[in-house]
Amino acid sequence: MSDASISNKRGAAVISFASIKAACKDCSLRELCLPRGLDDRELMALDQTVKRRRIVRKGEHLYRMGDPLQLLYAIRSGAMKTSELLGDGRIQVTGFQLPGEILGIDAIDGDRHRCNAEALEISEVCEIPWVKLEELAQRIGGLQHQLLRLMSGEIGREGQLLLMIGKMSADERLLACLYNFSQRQTRLGLSPTDIKLHMSRQDLGDYLGLALETVSRLFSRFQEEGLLTVRGKYVHLTNLETIHTRLG
Amino acid sequence: MSDASISNKRGAAVISFASIKAACKDCSLRELCLPRGLDDRELMALDQTVKRRRIVRKGEHLYRMGDPLQLLYAIRSGAMKTSELLGDGRIQVTGFQLPGEILGIDAIDGDRHRCNAEALEISEVCEIPWVKLEELAQRIGGLQHQLLRLMSGEIGREGQLLLMIGKMSADERLLACLYNFSQRQTRLGLSPTDIKLHMSRQDLGDYLGLALETVSRLFSRFQEEGLLTVRGKYVHLTNLETIHTRLG
DNA sequence: CGTACTATTGAGCGACCTCAATTGGCGTGG
DNA sequence: CCACGCCAATTGAGGTCGCTCAATAGTACG
């Protein structure tokens, strides 16, 4: 949808988008992403480091648990999910990523990815060789700071999720999750009240520590209570104020 | 216990330990902590950056949610816990920290601490001014790498906890937690089978997303099953093999 | 030796899960 | 264009794990 230029949906790639060179300085997401706060000269250096852009189709993986760390990924369009899994197949989704967000930094300690990263829909990502990026961060103070900030942010987000799953009731979890989506969509210049759920109910459940049926029932109940209206993947928050206050 | 020199338990500090200067190069935890992999010259520079050592008593806080980020803390002895809380008082413990581990890195994004850090028993920490450390990391490649590694490790640990709380049953959670304690104690050169629980049952419950009564009941059940023996804060794992296999 | 806190154990209940049937949306092929 | 099949989502019934409330036992410390 957001990538109208890709018309052929199942055959081999018709046009080799994969080799298009990225250019942070022209990217609309610059201030949300890794380059935030860098000056023109530094931006050029970063651009030379970023390898290329790449299209990932729905269901395709950027990496899997155990893969050696080679690239970080910055999302340009689309949506991804990261998940860990237990030996017997139980899944915990650890995050959903939107444009401007970075994937892969969990793997720096241990040099291997600790989770799977899968596209929820057709997406475009920038590939960033980790070794080069670390070298560059050594030379550019602002980039080191930005990297540390990104990682710290990830820690904060996981802490939030921990609090949600560990101490919130099912309805609080889903509400907090929707509120979070609303805020992140706003950051991207989209509506705070009209949310697109890029993931399935199953994914939402696996993220919030709930069964998919519980998620579905909650949507119905919220609708009865007049908090929102649902139509498939689209949720309209009719009462953002109430939602905010109900979260304390 | 580990700090026999501190005899006066509730009055004002008799001896001013607080101003003792740290010395990474002489520290037995060097290879577990921030200085890992640094050479002698770099170690000297780091030593000049580390502010001082400090004693924290049981129940004392290193920082609280909302405090501005000024110092990171490296634990030399004792044990700490970090926790987040909801408006209405509900608590989620996000981690327990042992000697050689670093506290405070959650605050880099946003410049304010996102959790409370409280001593579980009398402990000794090294204070590290964050601003100086970041500057130093800009000059010392190994230190930048070490910082990034530490943060990535924190992300990994939180991810593990997420998986535990989100997708494991109560008994699996406690077992996984004990197994983790066993591994970390081993790293410190202590026994893999004789574990000291530095925290209360309440804290354990708040960490694992369980009621304290559930934790207590599980200990009793594990004892009946012959997996371990409990005496207050001391747990002896009689069957580390079985525990490991039961975790898949 | 008493006080206060922490841990254990029991009984009953409720939130959320599991299993199962039904409905709805969408692409594919006749 | 409609029928069919497939998958996702909804809804219902019943079960269970872990919580809450409450009483008792154990432990630390003055």
For chain A, give me the number of helices (H) and strands (E)?
7, 11
Structure token digits, residue A36:
């935030």
CATH number, domain with residue A90: 2.60.120.10
* Domain membership flag for residue B111: yes
Q: Which domain holds residue A194?
A: 169-246
**Whether residue B173 sits in one domain with residue B157:** no
* Domain membership flag for residue B30: yes
Please compute the mean of the pLDDT values over residues A186-215 and round it to a whole number: 96
User: A125, A151, A166 — which closes off a domain?
Assistant: A166
A169-198 in b/e form (b: 16+ CB < 10 A) is ebbbbbbbbbbbbbebbeeeeeeeeebebb
Structure token digits, residue B239:
């069957």
A42 Cα to chain B: minimum distance (Å): 15
**Whether residue B180 sits in one domain with residue B162:** no
Residue (of A152, A113, A142, A149) closest to A130 by Cα position? A113
Contacts of B241 (CB under 8 A, 6+ apart): none
Predicted local distance difference test score (pLDDT) of residue A9: 39
**What percent of chain B stands above pLDDT 90?**
85
DSSP letter assigned to residue B98: -
User: B134, B166, B198 — which closes off a domain?
Assistant: B166
* Domain membership flag for residue A69: yes
* Domain membership flag for residue B2: no
**Whether residue B162 sits in one domain with residue B236:** no
d(CA A193, CA A219): 15
Confidence of residue A11 (pLDDT cuts 50, 70, 90): very low
Distance of B208 CA from C8 C1′ (whole Å): 19
Length of chain A: 248
Say whether the CB atom of B111 is under 7 angstroms from strand C. Answer: no
**Whether residue A143 sits in one domain with residue A44:** yes
Confidence of residue B248 (pLDDT cuts 50, 70, 90): confident
Residue A20 near residue A27 (C-beta atoms within 8 A): no
Given a cut of 60, is residue A96 above it in pLDDT? yes
* Domain membership flag for residue A231: yes
Predicted local distance difference test score (pLDDT) of residue B21: 66
Sign of CA dihedral A170, A173, A179, A184: negative
**Whether residue A193 sits in one domain with residue A153:** no
CB contact under 8 A, A159 and B84: yes
**Whether residue A92 sits in one domain with residue A23:** yes
Please calculate the CA angle A182-A188-A192 and round it to the nearest 5 degrees: 30
**Whether residue A156 sits in one domain with residue A173:** no
**Whether residue B149 sits in one domain with residue B216:** no
**Whether residue B177 sits in one domain with residue B113:** no
A64 interfacial to chain B (CB closer than 8 Å): no
Sign of CA dihedral B143, B145, B149, B152: positive
Please compute the mean of the pLDDT values over residues B53-59 and round it to a whole number: 93
